[in-house]
Amino acid sequence: MIIYYVVGIIFLAGVMGGYVNFALGRSANSKLRDAWWSVVIGLGAAFLVPLFLNTISSSLLSGILDGSSKQADGFVFFGFCLLGAIASRTMIQTLTQKVLRTAEEAKREVEKLKEEVDPIIIKETEPEIKETEPEITERSSGGDRVQGYGLVGEEPPKIIKVLGGSKYSRRTVQGIQKEAKVPLEKVYELLSWLQMNGLAATTGEPNNYWSLTEKGRSVFANTIKEEA
């Protein structure tokens, strides 16, 4: 029965607010159908009030629904709905923008959380180890051998092993350089190369942490296997 009581409040406030909105803006050219449209818009705005209260973390409506509210809370809720209906156009536009902005912020937070959690999940997942030996070819520009995914020389495997064999899921460039004993400029160059080839990922500025991707973990596992 309480839900019907709440719906009744919203409906009454929407109708009243719509007429008040029409009365405030009426002119000599206003017609009865304009009043009906104001009522329709007012009802729409009034029924958005529960969503508005939720966005501001208000417990007003939840208190009414679970019976823990004060008697005056019903009048306060009616006032919110009436005010929303009177300012229906502004109410709808503002709330729509707020909800869309909140959804976009939530999406960014989820993406950020995913970036932080993915390296941990990938590290804890057993990588695929290829049964066949990596293909070995010669580079046309020199005698360096290109193995597996295109890792050239001795320095790239060092970076792979530092990223894959560390107790940390994400590493700083300075930490990688110190452990791999590779010149800092070369570390930046190789990390960029690994990223372009889908073997490593970075959180970007300002923290700039690096970690292996699932594909990179597979390369790491095969590198360890070849050395065993």
Q: Quick one: three-class SS letters along 125-191? A: CCCCCCCCCCCEEECCCCCCEEECCCEECCHHHHHHHHHHHCCCCCECHHHHHHHHCCCHHHHHHHH
CA end-to-end distance (rounded Å), the chain: 73
Kindly report, residue by residue over 73-108, the tens digit of the pLDDT: 889 999 999 998 998 888 888 888 888 888 888 888
Q: Where are the domains of the chain?
A: 2-100, 132-227
Copy the structure tokens of residue 122: 């990938």
Closest C-alpha among 215, 223, 228, 202 to residue 154: 223
**Tokens 């290829």 belong to which residue?**
130
Mean pLDDT over the full length of the chain:
78
Q: In which band, very low, low, confident or very high, does the pLDDT at 136 lie, cut at 50, 70 and 90?
A: very low
Phi, psi of 156 (to 5 degrees): -60, -45
Q: Is the pLDDT of residue 135 over 60?
A: no
Q: 56-79: b or e for each residue (b if 16 or more CB lie within 10 Å)?
A: eebebbeebeeeebeeeeeeebbe
Q: In this predicted structure, what is the pLDDT of residue 11?
A: 93
Mean pLDDT across 140-152:
41
CB 6 within 8 A of CB 69: no
Cβ neighbours around 206 below 10 Å, total: 5
pLDDT at 74: 87
* Among 20, 56, 52, residue whose Cα is nearest residue 38: 20
Token readout for 107 is 């999406």
Please give the CATH architecture assigned to the domain spanning 132-227. Orthogonal Bundle (1.10)
What pLDDT was estimated at residue 186?
86
For residue 113, the tally of other CB atoms under 10 A from its CB is 10
Q: How far apart are CA 139 and CA 113, in angstroms?
A: 40
Does residue 131 register a pLDDT over 60? no
Q: What local confidence, expressed as pLDDT, does residue 205 receive?
A: 67
Phi, psi dihedrals of residue 130, rounded to the nearest 5°:
-75, 140
> pTM for this one?
0.47
Q: Is the pLDDT of residue 16 over 60?
A: yes
The span from the CA of 140 to the CA of 225, in Å, is 28
